Homo-oligomer: A and B are copies of this chain.
């Protein structure tokens, strides 16, 4: 796809380290974690000598690796590190570590490629020297004989079986029964254990932290494309597919699905959202490059955005699938696969509820100390009096004549976020004083999550507006401004928080609904062009109903006839239908026919004569 190549060449980005050529996250391949996690972990956490040994082996493909952190009983990304119960105990006599799974819950469970495909893995395990527990560290553990591919002694490996998607990857499990590895297999770039068992830390864990943030930024990018894939398929299909004569049978020929407001509002809205996620990921990437190290602000921002983007894309892809009626439920449409690839992104690399709370924690901490130090500039709107009124009618940025303007939309987004964040901060502080901080956190968790979401949406709209304003081509800029306005207005109309404070009236909501109506009318003729702008190839979408040429029905019948189950039907044995008949249906029907006095003849059964 053109945008991918442009990204790669123009920005020298590492996109294919994280993303497949079909815009799935790289762990859709059994060797994805080899490039995305195994090699980077060695690079960031290995000593110079370790890098010299392992990197050429891994980079040349002489060995294949994965990254084994998640356990059967322990997930979570950062917190998970603290709860891992698998142990690596140092045996100073033999100069070895003993990797051991002490419990069923410490079984390594989920790592991609572990089931069948990797020779090595990074194992995250608790480091124990003498009786002292130094917490989680990284070890390189060889898993399989390179001759027989059998698990090495003491290691049990297996596959996790079918999932809704990603079945091209062998997510697997591993247990270790006192498996010995040399001391030098502990990655020693950040921490060291000497021959005599003395432990020392060196350097900061910042680099690993930075990889994690980069990974999440890439997820935001990937899900933008996945939402756009689903929207492209559904938009193309809805343009070809006709259904009904209208509610009043007013049309003389059947109308395209896309002409119905319920359909075009959903699909144009989803496309406007996909752009929002793409621009937000670009804005994040810019901050990441500028700050180089992952600051706590960037970390908090990316956490919230990861949650917002993945949930928006997952819900949106499923809605696009529903827009295609029955055909959206056939794998031949390509839509079920996209949904199955985007939904797990809400879970991995940090569950969305945990992610939002990390953002919320940053917001609450920032506000608590606001008098003692300066707020991060991107948070200053929260304490700006222009955005912080909680009294209805006192300060209203949104007057009906300005409701179409991006600056009004942004003001509304900021007001909403400022109100939620401030009222949550106040309530949280009050409860903390009486019931303690942890109880207060749990009690206000839902509003803390809403605070994080509202702040994230401010960032997304800022990125959208500034990205669109920078478009040089006037025609393109005008149409992108409409998409941006559509995104903002739909977001406002669907969120109770914009209305709760009486800040927006019913009349203003009516004005906004008319604006949406008008934007949809104006964008509708460009619906195909807007989805084509993502430049997906037929090869990328793999959808019988979303082909670029719009030849939906012939393609669908052709692909159906090509299915393996239908291939052998005309043969003498009748293929799958013949087998079903001989083994199940035939005996069942014959048994029924032999019951009762009268046995029905073939002729009588075929027809009533």
Please count how many residues in chain A sit with their CB below 8 Å of the partner chain's CB atoms.
Answer: 152
Chain A, residues 413-454, CB within 8 Å of chain B (1/0): the string is 000000000010000000000000110011101110100000
Residues 168-186 of A contacting B (Cβ, < 8 Å): 170, 173, 181-182, 184-185
- A151, A390, A582 — which one has the most chain B CB atoms within 10 A of its CB? A151
Once bound together, how far apart are the Cα atoms of A245 and B513, in whole Å?
Answer: 45
Closest to A502 in B: B502
Tell me, rounded to whole Å, the shortest Cβ–Cβ distance linking A609 to chain B: 6
- Is A347 part of the contact surface with B, judged by Cβ < 8 Å? yes
- Counting every copy of the chain, the complex holds 2
Tell me, rounded to whole Å, the shortest Cβ–Cβ distance linking A556 to chain B: 7
Known: A64-B589, A164-B340, A585-B149. A506 touches B517 (CB 8 A): no
- Is A275 part of the contact surface with B, judged by Cβ < 8 Å? no
B517 touches A443 (CB 8 A): yes
Tell me, rounded to whole Å, the shortest Cβ–Cβ distance linking A286 to chain B: 30
B244 touches A79 (CB 8 A): yes
Q: Please, which residues of chain B bring their CB within 8 A of the CB of A265?
A: 445-446
A147 touches B76 (CB 8 A): no
- Is A263 part of the contact surface with B, judged by Cβ < 8 Å? yes
- Is A351 part of the contact surface with B, judged by Cβ < 8 Å? yes
Tell me, rounded to whole Å, the shortest Cβ–Cβ distance linking A223 to chain B: 15
B57 touches A606 (CB 8 A): no
Known: A104-B557, A442-B246. A506 touches B390 (CB 8 A): yes
Tell me, rounded to whole Å, the shortest Cβ–Cβ distance linking A207 to chain B: 20
Q: Please, which residues of chain B bring their CB within 8 A of the CB of A581?
A: 116, 148-149
Residues 559-609 of A contacting B (Cβ, < 8 Å): 560-561, 563, 565-566, 569, 574, 576-578, 580-582, 585-586, 588-589, 591-593, 595-596, 600, 602, 605-609
Q: Please, which residues of chain B bring their CB within 8 A of the CB of A109?
A: 326
Closest to A323 in B: B353
Once bound together, how far apart are the Cα atoms of A260 and B592, in whole Å?
Answer: 56
Q: Please, which residues of chain B bring their CB within 8 A of the CB of A336?
A: 163-164
Q: Please, which residues of chain B bring their CB within 8 A of the CB of A359?
A: none
Once bound together, how far apart are the Cα atoms of A553 and B73, in whole Å?
Answer: 7
Q: Please, which residues of chain B bring their CB within 8 A of the CB of A609?
A: 182, 184
- Is A332 part of the contact surface with B, judged by Cβ < 8 Å? yes
Known: A76-B243, A254-B83, A329-B344. A607 touches B553 (CB 8 A): no
Contact of A61 among B152, B496, B588, B608 (CB under 8 A): B588
- Is A291 part of the contact surface with B, judged by Cβ < 8 Å? no
- Is A135 part of the contact surface with B, judged by Cβ < 8 Å? no
- Is A477 part of the contact surface with B, judged by Cβ < 8 Å? no
Contact of A569 among B157, B445, B513, B563 (CB under 8 A): B157
Given contacts A72-B556, A150-B574, A326-B348, list 4 more A-B pairs with CB under 8 A: A146-B602, A158-B563, A163-B336, A262-B449
